[in-house]
């Protein structure tokens, strides 16, 4: 899956749905966005034919008999129809947060909708945080199984190459993660064309088998799926755990809403992706009806023998694209989570001077790489990885459905019966798939869950620690207006220039100001007390960016507003004060910050190990100066200790 919000590191920027204002230009833009959506949105789900059908029959859980093959094909078709075509494309895409999608955007919508119900809001927040955390587990499995399943085609094209499959897989993955620091804007433009070729090839290798055995098309009838369940209920239930692999990546439809718009995503799905996937799956099924032994690797065996080696290279390129989109999503989600206070600040590098959406997060990049290498080394084959795949995907799908209900009911005020009807059916489907995948828990499903639980622990600890820290600082805080009034009864010496004091809370005297007065015994000619507030909407309009309140004696309280996808650039935002009596000459302005040192103590806060964990996270978080884009040669940091 791809939760939350791909950054523009794939070479495509934020887009809105195309209008009819300028038909020729708009048609050209629509075509470009649709092509871009093919590469970014559908890279993951587009490579699922490599392994999905094979894994249903793997290990003899489901025998490749005539009826079972038709039943499984029917399940695959109707799973894609219900979960992707109906749930995501028709329903979930409507739940946009100011044009943005993804689990974080949905979480913001749902919690805002129930803001007057604090307990429900907190519960939804925890559920949404867990879904976001599980995304990282999915982010480890997806590149591992995709690239490994592509390279395994070498065993079909040349059986003697079995021993080099894992080394080549690791080499491809290493190269993929090594180039992230250079940015992906250039190669991102090739994603769409390469993926378009991939979908054309899916049709080309699947269609001849359907033509040779058109009987396979009877599986379009949902009665074959129902009959499969009726005659083999337990076997069919177990098989669902592999059938769901055909819709992995479905979350990307929603996550990339802000980059491509609803119309290009829908056109790409209905016009290219779903037809190509159906033809390929049914082509594999038609071949299996004639040759059940081909279940060893039906995707590659569907292709002519002469085409298998070139197909390995194309499949590897397609899976690298799918992995790239997910890596980019991980960078974007991490940045958004940091800005919402869910994760600590991390070092973020911009790989483009033109597009601020192209980012690189070293810690996330190499953390994912280490875990992916561990997954490949631990599970060794795509079939073993498939046992670990599915739990995270179906869990996030279920959480998205739950969030959608609260948006429909409390945000959009639809009648209860309509909300239950709209989401209840999908909830039953999601829970059924999740229950089936839980059967794989001991066989490898624990792996992404352990990663998800670890990330959830970090998120909750960081959020709770920040709250405790804010409460402690508030208890010790001095009201800013009262403090300034007292100071100017007998004012200290004033020096030329402007001082910008950063403070987490407005109207509170910053510790940096107290330390500056204590040690330097001076006050600047002009003083700005700046607080940055991040909102649960993606974007804040520039006209609403800044609030200014005069405090007298050439002092001002400034409140800056940013969305979770905005770039928090404080100096740039303060430029809006030009012409309002606030001098901000770059070489005459100093930025004062307080670097707080957290001291874990035994008391009413968190248990000691969590307090120590929070202290370590706080100590190693990226500097606020970098996060807020402050000029490095104009920063003054003053430290203080905070006990929690």
* pLDDT per position as a tens digit, 105-123: 888 889 888 988 999 999 9
Question: Helices 391-406 and 118-151, interaxial angle, to 10°?
Answer: 150
pLDDT for 20 equals 41
Q: Are strands 493-502 and 635-643 parallel, antiparallel or unpaired?
A: unpaired
pLDDT for 600 equals 84
**Integer Cα distance of 33 and 35 in angstroms:** 5
Task: Give the total residue count for the chain.
Answer: 644
Three state DSSP letters for 95-108: CCECCECCHHHHHH
Cβ–Cβ < 8 Å for 192, 35: yes
Cβ–Cβ < 8 Å for 9, 185: yes
Q: Which residue ranges in the chain fall short of pLDDT 50?
A: 1-22
What distances in angstroms separate CA 324 from CA 42, 144, 180, 329, one per listed residue? 12, 12, 9, 8
**Integer Cα distance of 447 and 462 in angstroms:** 23
CB-CB neighbours of 497 under 10 Å: 16
**Integer Cα distance of 613 and 601 in angstroms:** 12
Task: Name 317's Cβ contacts closer than 8 Å, sequence gap at least 6.
Answer: 194, 198
Question: Helices 274-290 and 191-212, interaxial angle, to 10°?
Answer: 40
Q: Is 491 helix (H, G, I), strand (E, B) or coil?
A: coil
Instruction: Enter the tokens of residue 228.
Output: 């499969």
Q: Running DSSP on this structure, what letter comes out for residue 532?
A: E
pLDDT for 5 equals 38
pLDDT for 1 equals 40
Cβ–Cβ < 8 Å for 206, 407: no
Contacts 24+ apart (CB under 8 A), 601-609: 601/643, 601/644, 605/468, 605/644, 606/461, 606/464, 606/465, 606/468, 606/644
pTM of the model: 0.82
pLDDT for 359 equals 77
CB-CB neighbours of 416 under 10 Å: 10
pLDDT for 21 equals 43
**Integer Cα distance of 283 and 384 in angstroms:** 25
Q: What is the rounded radius of gyration, in angstroms, for the C-alpha atoms of the chain?
A: 27
Sign of CA dihedral 277, 282, 284, 285: positive
**Integer Cα distance of 422 and 92 in angstroms:** 10
Q: Running DSSP on this structure, what letter comes out for residue 488?
A: T
* Beta bridge partners of residue 639, listed in sequence order: 595
pLDDT for 210 equals 97
* Beta bridge partners of residue 531, listed in sequence order: 559
What distances in angstroms separate CA 604 from CA 460, 600, 607, 644, one per listed residue? 17, 11, 8, 8
DSSP 351-414: S-SS-TT-EE-HHHHHHHHHHHHHHHHHH-SHHHHHHHSSHHHHHHHHHHHHHHHHIIIIIS--
CB-CB neighbours of 571 under 10 Å: 16
pLDDT for 433 equals 94
Instruction: Enter the tokens of residue 169.
Output: 């897989």
Instruction: Enter the tokens of residue 527.
Output: 């003083």
pLDDT for 75 equals 95
Query: How far is CA 286 from its chain centroid?
Result: 36
Task: Name 517's Cβ contacts closer than 8 Å, sequence gap at least 6.
Answer: 487, 492, 523
Cβ–Cβ < 8 Å for 561, 531: no
């Amino acid at each position: 899956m791809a939760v939350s919000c791909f950054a523009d590191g794939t070479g495509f920027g934020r887009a809105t749905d195309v209008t009819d204002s300028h038909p020729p230009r708009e048609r050209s833009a629509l075509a470009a966005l649709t092509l871009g959506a093919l590469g970014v949105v559908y890279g993951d789900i587009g490579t699922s034919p490599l392994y999905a059908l094979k894994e249903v029959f793997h290990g003899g859980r489901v025998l490749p008999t005539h009826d079972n093959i038709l039943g499984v094909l029917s399940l695959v078709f109707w799973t894609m129809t219900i979960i992707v075509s109906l749930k995501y494309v028709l329903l979930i895409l409507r739940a946009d947060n100011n044009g943005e999608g993804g689990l974080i955007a949905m979480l913001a919508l749902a919690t805002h909708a129930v803001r007057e119900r604090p307990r429900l809001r907190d519960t939804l927040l925890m559920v949404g945080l867990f879904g976001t955390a599980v995304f990282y587990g999915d982010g480890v499995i997806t590149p591992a199984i995709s690239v490994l399943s592509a390279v395994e085609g070498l065993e079909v094209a040349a059986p003697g190459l079995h021993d080099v499959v894992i080394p080549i897989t690791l080499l491809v993955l290493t190269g993929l993660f090594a180039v992230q620091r250079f940015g992906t804007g250039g190669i991102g433009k090739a994603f769409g064309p390469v993926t378009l070729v991939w979908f054309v090839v899916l049709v080309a290798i699947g269609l001849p088998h359907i033509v040779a055995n058109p009987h396979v098309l009877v599986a379009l009838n949902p009665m074959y799926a129902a009959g499969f369940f009726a005659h083999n209920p337990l076997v069919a239930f177990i098989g669902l755990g592999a059938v769901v692999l055909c819709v992995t990546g479905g979350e990307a439809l929603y996550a990339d809403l802000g980059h491509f718009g609803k119309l290009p995503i829908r056109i790409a799905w209905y016009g290219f992706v779903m037809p190509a996937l159906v033809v390929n799956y049914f082509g594999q099924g038609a071949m299996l009806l004639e040759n059940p032994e081909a279940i060893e690797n039906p995707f590659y065996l569907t292709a002519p023998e002469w085409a298998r080696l070139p197909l390995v290279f194309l499949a590897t390129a397609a899976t690298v694209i799918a992995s790239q989109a997910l890596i980019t999503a991980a960078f974007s989600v991490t940045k958004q989570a940091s800005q919402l206070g869910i994760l600590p600040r991390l070092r973020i590098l911009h790989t483009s001077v033109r597009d601020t959406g192209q980012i690189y997060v070293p810690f996330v990049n190499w953390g994912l790489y280490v875990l992916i290498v561990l997954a490949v080394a631990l599970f060794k084959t795509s079939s073993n990885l498939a046992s670990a795949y599915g739990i995270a995907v179906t869990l996030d799908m279920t959480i998205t459905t739950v969030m959608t209900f609260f948006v429909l009911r409390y945000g959009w005020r639809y009648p209860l019966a309509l909300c239950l009807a709209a989401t209840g059916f999908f909830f039953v489907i999601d829970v059924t798939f999740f229950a089936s995948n839980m059967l794989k828990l001991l066989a490898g499903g624990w792996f992404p869950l352990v990663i998800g639980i670890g990330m959830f622990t970090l998120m909750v600890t960081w959020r709770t620690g920040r709250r405790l820290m804010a409460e402690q600082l508030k208890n010790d805080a001095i009201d800013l207006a009262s403090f300034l009034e007292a100071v100017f009864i007998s004012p200290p010496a004033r020096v030329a220039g402007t001082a910008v004091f950063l403070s987490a809370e407005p109207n509170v005297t910053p510790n940096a100001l107290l330390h500056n007065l204590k040690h330097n015994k001076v006050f600047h000619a002009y003083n700005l007390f700046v607080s940055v507030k991040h909102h649960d909407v993606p974007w804040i309009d520039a006209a609403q960016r800044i609030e200014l309140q005069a405090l007298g004696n050439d002092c001002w309280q400034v409140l800056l507003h940013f969305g979770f996808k905005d770039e928090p650039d404080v100096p740039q935002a303060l430029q809006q004060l030009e012409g309002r009596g606030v001098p901000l000459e770059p070489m005459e302005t100093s930025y004062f910050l307080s670097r707080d040192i957290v001291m874990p103590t035994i008391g009413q806060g968190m248990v000691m190990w969590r307090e120590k964990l929070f202290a370590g996270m706080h100590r190693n978080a990226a500097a606020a100066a970098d996060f807020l884009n402050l000029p490095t040669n104009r920063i003054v940091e003053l430290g203080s200790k905070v006990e929690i």
